[in-house]
């Protein structure tokens, strides 16, 4: 199979997958009893409630709502949020950008810490390797929920960094950027540390495997010393299986950022979804679900294609 055909097949199945998940989220969102028109119901007359329901399109049969929603989706119109009184598309876009910023920062930090440490731990056998390994295991045991709580606690206790939020507001230009940078470390580290530990373990394992493989042994036989062999041959080869797991990591980033955003009040997609769920904001919930499904599908698809490009065995179907 050529890489192009593989890519096309991946993209198509990714799209179908996104559609199915998005539809399921809408269905589940509608299954939950209660709707936004009931909020503040005590102070509203039945006529007001009926009007609000009609405005939100909740008075129509489910299939009509679904068809309407799918049609809107094609035009990038996902309805209006009853909680924020704004188009869902705008809201979801803004928040997704925040989540993307957080996820990207976490991915960069995790890669920057995890891969070099893994390379180090995988290519040596000494006490250094054991220290890295022990550290990784400890960090791996602090999942995002706990790391976020711990970091927020430290931030709140010491006042070194803001414990929550994305910016303090009211700032522009350079001051705004500096402020953003001050808010980033807590959620980023909470998300990145377990990830970095995972990457370190993977990289160490892959490195050790590759070093044991014959062609490295062959290059060693040609007279290169062990270090050079590791640097020249083993590192890029060992990178392929690690990159292959980035697809899975996208999922980890998503579920991890959901928790981290709630704990650190980071205004991302996870926090939005949570607020939308609490307020029974049907269209916003569905919008978050749709965007989450699309990004997840896109992330895994891209990672698969990248994996295939790096490791031709994938195309031959020898590796799932």
Partner 1 sequence: MRRALMLVAVLVAVAVAGPLVAPYGPVTRFDDHLHAPPMPLHLDGRGLYTVPLRPLDRLEQTFAEDPSQRAGLPWTTPAATPVLLLGADRLGRDVLSRTLHGARASLGLALVATAGTLLLGALLGSWAGLAGGLVERLVLKTGDVLMVLPVLYVVVALRAALPLVLPLPVIVGVLAAIFVLLGWPRIARGVWAIVRAEARQEHVLAAVALGASRWRVMTRHLLPACHGYLAVQTALLVPMFVLAEATLSYVGLGFPDGVPSWGTALSDAATISAMTRAPWTLAPALAMFLVVLVTNVLLEPARERHTPDAARSG
Partner 2 sequence: MVGLFGYFWWGSRSLAPTPDARPTVELPQRGGVLAASLRSEPRSFNRLVSRDYATQLFALLTQARLVRVNMATYELESWLAESWTSSPDGLVHTLTLRDGLSWSDGVPFSSADVAFTFAAVFDPRVKSVLASSLQVDGDPLAVATPDARTVVVTFPHPFGPGIRLLDNLTILPKHKLEAALTGGTMADAWGTTTAPAEIVGMGPFVLSQYEPGQRLTFARNPHYWRKDDRGIGLPYLDGLVLRIVPDQNAELLGLQSADLDLTQQQLRPDDYGTAREMERAGRLRMAEVGVSLDPDVFFFNLRPAMWAKDPRRAWLFTDTFRKALNHAVDREAYANTVFLGAAVPVHGPVSPGNKAWFWPDLPRYAFDREKSAALLAELGLANRDADAFLEDAAGNEARFTLIHYKGNTAIERGAQVLKESFERVGVAMDLAPLEPGTLIERMLAGTFEAIFFNYVATDPDPAMQRDFWLSSGSAHIWNISQKTPATEWEREMDALVNRQAANVDPAERVRLFRDVQRVFSEHLPAMYFAAPRLFVAVGPRVRNETPGVTRPQLLWSADTLALAAGAAPTSR
What residue ranges bind partner 2 (CB under 8 A)? 33-34, 36, 38-43, 45, 47-48, 51, 83-86, 91, 94, 138, 142, 146, 149-150, 153-154, 156-157, 159, 162-165, 168-171, 175, 265, 267, 271, 275, 278-280
For the CB of residue 144, give the shortest distance to partner 2 in the complex, in Å: 14
3-state secondary structure of 86: strand
Of the candidate residues 32, 67, 104, 175, the single one contacting partner 1 (CB under 8 A)? 32
Of the candidate residues 2, 4, 33, 43, the single one contacting partner 1 (CB under 8 A)? 33
For the CB of residue 1, give the shortest distance to partner 1 in the complex, in Å: 18
- Pairing outcome for strands 86-87 and 80-81: antiparallel
Local structure of residue 81 (DSSP, 8 states): E
Our finding on whether 14 is near partner 1 (CB under 8 A) is: no
Place of tokens 């997609």: 269
For the CB of residue 181, give the shortest distance to partner 2 in the complex, in Å: 14
Of the candidate residues 8, 20, 97, 232, the single one contacting partner 1 (CB under 8 A)? 20
Give residues with Cβ within 8 angstroms of 36, minimum separation 6. Answer: 52, 56, 58, 82, 83, 279, 280, 281, 282
Of the candidate residues 103, 132, 163, 207, the single one contacting partner 1 (CB under 8 A)? 163
Crossing angle for the helix pair 173-183 and 185-212, nearest 10 degrees?
Answer: 60
Our finding on whether 252 is near partner 1 (CB under 8 A) is: yes
Crossing angle for the helix pair 282-310 and 88-123, nearest 10 degrees?
Answer: 30
Query: Pattern 253-292, binding to partner 1, x per CB under 8 A?
Result: --xx-xx--xx---------xx--x-------x---x--x
Applying CB under 8 A, which part among 55-63, 80-88, 93-101, 150-158 lies near partner 1?
150-158
Positions in 98-117 near partner 1 (CB under 8 A): none
For the CB of residue 129, give the shortest distance to partner 2 in the complex, in Å: 23
Distance of CA 104 to the CA centre of its chain: 8
Applying CB under 8 A, which part among 73-81, 84-92, 143-151, 214-222 lies near partner 1?
143-151
- Rounded distance between C-alpha atoms, residue 320 and residue 313, angstroms: 9
Buried b (16+ CB within 10 A) or exposed e, 181-219: eebbbbbbbbbbbbbbbbbbbbbbbbbbebbeeeebeee
Of the candidate residues 184, 202, 282, 284, the single one contacting partner 1 (CB under 8 A)? 202
For the CB of residue 223, give the shortest distance to partner 2 in the complex, in Å: 48
Place of tokens 């290059």: 219
Helices (H), the chain: 3-31, 46-56, 62-74, 88-123, 127-140, 144-158, 173-183, 185-212, 214-221, 226-229, 235-244, 246-264, 269-278, 282-310
- The CB density around residue 270, as the number of other CB atoms within 10 Å, is 24
Selection from partner 2, partner 1, none that 4 binds (CB < 5 to 8 A by kind) is none
Our finding on whether 54 is near partner 1 (CB under 8 A) is: no
Contacts with partner 1, residue ranges (CB under 8 A): 17, 20-21, 24-25, 28-29, 31-34, 137-138, 140-146, 149-150, 152-153, 156-157, 163, 194-195, 198, 201-202, 205, 245, 248-249, 251-252, 255-256, 258-259, 262-263, 273-274, 277, 285, 289, 292-293, 296, 320
């Amino acid at each position: 199979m050529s890489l192009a055909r593989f890519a096309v097949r991946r993209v198509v199945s990714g799209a179908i997958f996104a559609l199915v998940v998005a539809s399921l989220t809408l269905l589940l969102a509608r299954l939950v009893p209660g709707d936004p028109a009931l909020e503040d119901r005590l102070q509203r007359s039945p006529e007001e409630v009926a009007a609000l329901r009609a405005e939100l399109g909740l008075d129509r049969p489910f299939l009509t709502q679904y068809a309407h929603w799918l049609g809107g989706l094609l035009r990038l119109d996902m309805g209006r949020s009853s909680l924020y009184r704004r188009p869902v598309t705008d809201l979801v876009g803004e928040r997704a950008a925040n989540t993307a910023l957080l996820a990207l920062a976490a991915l960069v930090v995790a890669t920057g810490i995890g891969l070099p440490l893994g390379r180090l731990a995988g290519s040596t056998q000494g006490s250094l390797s054991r220290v890295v390994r022990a550290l990784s295991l400890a960090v791996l045991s602090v999942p995002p929920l706990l790391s976020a709580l711990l970091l927020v606690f430290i931030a709140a206790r010491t006042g070194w960094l803001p414990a929550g939020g994305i910016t303090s507001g009211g700032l522009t230009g350079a001051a705004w950027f500096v402020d953003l940078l001050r808010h980033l470390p807590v959620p980023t580290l909470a998300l990145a540390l377990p990830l970095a530990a995972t990457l370190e373990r993977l990289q160490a394992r892959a490195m050790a495997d590759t070093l044991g493989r014959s062609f490295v042994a062959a290059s060693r036989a040609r007279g290169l010393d062990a270090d050079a062999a590791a640097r020249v041959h083993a590192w890029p080869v060992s990178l392929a299986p690690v990159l292959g797991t980035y697809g899975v990591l996208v999922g980890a980033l998503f579920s991890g950022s959901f928790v981290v955003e709630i704990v650190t009040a980071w205004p991302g997609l996870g926090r939005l979804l949570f607020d939308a769920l609490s307020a029974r904001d049907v269209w916003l919930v569905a919008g978050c679900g749709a965007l989450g499904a699309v990004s997840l599908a896109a992330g895994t698809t891209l990672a698969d294609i990248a994996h295939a490009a790096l490791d031709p065995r994938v195309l031959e179907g020898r590796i799932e």
